[in-house]
Chains A and B, each alone.
Chain A
Amino acid sequence: MTAGSVSVPAAPPVRANALRLALSAEATKLRTVRSTMWALLATLVATIGIGSLIAMARVSRWDRLSLREQLHFDASAASLRGIFLAQLVLGVLGVLVISSEFATGMIRTTFTAMPRRGTVLVAKALVFAIVAFVVALAGCLVAFAIGQSIFAQKHAGISLSAPGALRAVVGGAVYLMAVGLLGLVLGTLLRRTAGAIATLFGLLLILPLLVGALPDPWNTDISKYLPGDAGRALFTVQPQSGLLSPFGGLVTLAVWVIGGLVVAGIVLSRRDA
């Protein structure tokens, strides 16, 4: 066989927008590995399944709650408890979006095709953020609906039009997306899947425990700025001490994610691949 189908070098191509091309390439990549579909499915199962189980558990113990506890019951947050498991699933997917490329050496193919590494990271983050948000929002909406129908047995269910309810559902999805992006940041910085996942879980699960052991008021002063509590402020409706306002939580999460992506972008561009 010869290179029969290879023609003489063509005229220079139309100059296309680098970010648009990178978005298209990264969307194709995300779509064409099986782990994406499994992780997104697991996110739905965790958000909806765990949310429903916890809602049923709350209802079964409802009559043992004090009147004060019943009055301050946060029906939307209680239906969204699956987020605590789903965040780990989406976080792992976020890590894998880039760590799988480091592990297989494909990052070199990626950077050979798209030498602007900052653009690659932005494209990866945007594609992942859109997919993660859409799936997380679907999961949170269904979990909310199922949860409220369960709470309705005790006349404790609320509708999506109740004050703060819609914000809590959307906020839950935003938080899940943000955790996934933090996974992407850690995957970029650490390049190792296991190390990045361990660090992410430490940030979400261990660090709050350590900070909580600090003397008052340092513990809450610090922990409310950690990603976990900043996210909780987004999907909590009943006022809770030690949490930022929903807007404050959103800004704090944005600082974590955008700050992390900027650092990751600089490191990615400086390091040899």
Chain B
Amino acid sequence: MIVAEGLTKRYGDVVAVDDLSFSVPPGRVTGFLGPNGAGKTTTMRMLLGLARPTGGSIQTNGRAYVEHAAPMHEVGALLEAGAVHPGRKARDHLCWLARSNAIPLRRVDEVLGAVGLESVAGKRIGTFSLGMNQRLGIAAALLGDPGVLVFDEPVNGLDPEGIVWIRSLFRALAQEGRTVFVSSHLMSEMALTADHVIVIGRGRLLADSPMAEFTHRPAGAVLVRTPASEQLAVLLTADGASVEVADDGALTVSGMNAPEVGTAAHRYGIALHELTPQHASLEEAFFELTGDAVEYHAAIPDATDRKVTA
């Protein structure tokens, strides 16, 4: 269990984290989302006692991190890749970590096996790829068999096989009753991994809700396919809806829900081949929340759709 209460961090005049309150319960994967500079890493650092809050608190299992004498038994953390000495061998890195928290050295080989690094345990970390570094960091997080796991951008540098693996790892850890807290800027990855999302932007809490609720918030758009697409588009626009026509004739209708579109089509005697309510993707929900949508979409060349204004 992780609990933040009124957590605030200021660097001079800059407020990195602004009165943030949330809790991360055990037994599920909680995603921690936000654009770059939103305060995710600062929050993670305060959680791990690396940075001191200006105000408020963030606690794991009822205590501030620095009050845990051997914290690796309680909290396992994957920090940003590179928080290792490149000249040290992978096994040696895990050995000093184990010794620092009175963890039996046999755990070192267990976690090396769990992340698939046993064959390179005797290699210097400097020779590792980014993905291998991430696996080593995950091994370090698992070393103390902790009930709370914190991963900062864990998917960075992993190959597709590694991404599938890490997803199932998070799921398994949560099913064992652990608290799993994963930060990411990859919204689509979180949609597949997390049960619950906490979204922050400019240091403030924007959303704290189950993933399903987050992505199923009213998006309003309905995808319609019909042989008479131009005709229906004009009629629906006349009824007050906003319609976009794609090159293949698919209509994206907003301002009307699916039953209204279906009823209207029936009234006009137009056959429908498809009528699908559109859920906002996590990205869309995210951009809607953080207000970056316009800026972001403007950067994408968009030649396939044209707006019907008639």
Q: What is the size, in residues, of chain B's interface with A at 8 Å between Cβ atoms?
A: 54
Which residues of A are at the interface with B, using a C-beta cutoff of 8 A?
1-10, 12-16, 18, 21-22, 24-26, 28-29, 32-35, 100-101, 104-106, 108-109, 111-116, 272-273
Binding site for A on B (CB under 8 A): 45, 48-52, 65-73, 77, 79-80, 82-89, 92-93, 95-97, 99-103, 110-111, 113-114, 116, 140, 142, 145-147, 165, 168-169, 172-173, 176-178
- Using CB atoms, name the residue of chain A closest to B84: A106
Tell me the minimal C-beta distance from A211 to chain B in angstroms: 38
**A115–B88 CB distance below 8 A:** no
- CB pair B178 A9 closer than 8 Å: yes
Q: A105-B80, A272-B50 are in contact. Are A22 and B87 (CB under 8 A)?
A: no
Which one, A9, A18, A106, A115, contacts B83 given CB within 8 A?
A106
Let me know if A33 and B173 touch, CB within 8 A. Answer: no
Taking CB atoms, residues of chain A closer than 8 Å to B113 are 5
Distance of A25 Cα from B105 Cα, bound (Å): 12
A–B Cβ pairs within 8 angstroms, 9 of them: A21-B99, A106-B84, A108-B48, A111-B49, A111-B50, A112-B77, A113-B71, A273-B50, A273-B51
Which residues of chain A are within 8 angstroms of B95 by Cβ–Cβ distance?
Answer: 28, 32
CA distance A272 to B49 in the complex (A): 9
Q: Which residues of A contact B147 (CB under 8 A)?
A: 9
Contact B110 A1 (CB under 8 A): no
Those 7 A-B pairs whose CB atoms lie nearest each other, nearest first: A25-B100, A32-B92, A28-B96, A272-B51, A3-B172, A115-B66, A9-B147
Instruction: Give the distance in Å from the alpha carbon of A226 to the alpha carbon of B70 in the complex.
Output: 40
CB contacts (< 8 Å) of B50 on chain A: these are 108, 111-112, 272-273
Q: Given A9-B147, A10-B145, are A1 and B99 also a contact pair (CB < 8 Å)?
A: no
Contact A115 B172 (CB under 8 A): no
C-alpha spacing A34/B87, complex, angstroms = 7
Contacts of B114 in A (CB 8 A): 1, 3-6
Known contacts A32-B96, A109-B140: A14-B173 contact under CB 8 Å: no
Interface pair A33/B88, CB less than 8 Å apart: yes
Question: What's the nearest-Cβ distance from chain B to residue A116, in Å?
Answer: 7
What residues on A are CB-neighbors of B110 within 8 Å? Answer: 5
Instruction: Look across to chain B and name the residue whose beta carbon is closest to the beta carbon of A3.
Output: B172
Our pick among A6, A21, A32, A273 for the contact of B70 (Cβ within 8 Å) is: A21
Contact of A104 among B85, B140, B169 (CB under 8 A): B85
- Chain A residue, CB-CB nearest to B72: A113
Kindly report which residue of chain A lies nearest to residue B91, judged by CB atoms. Answer: A32
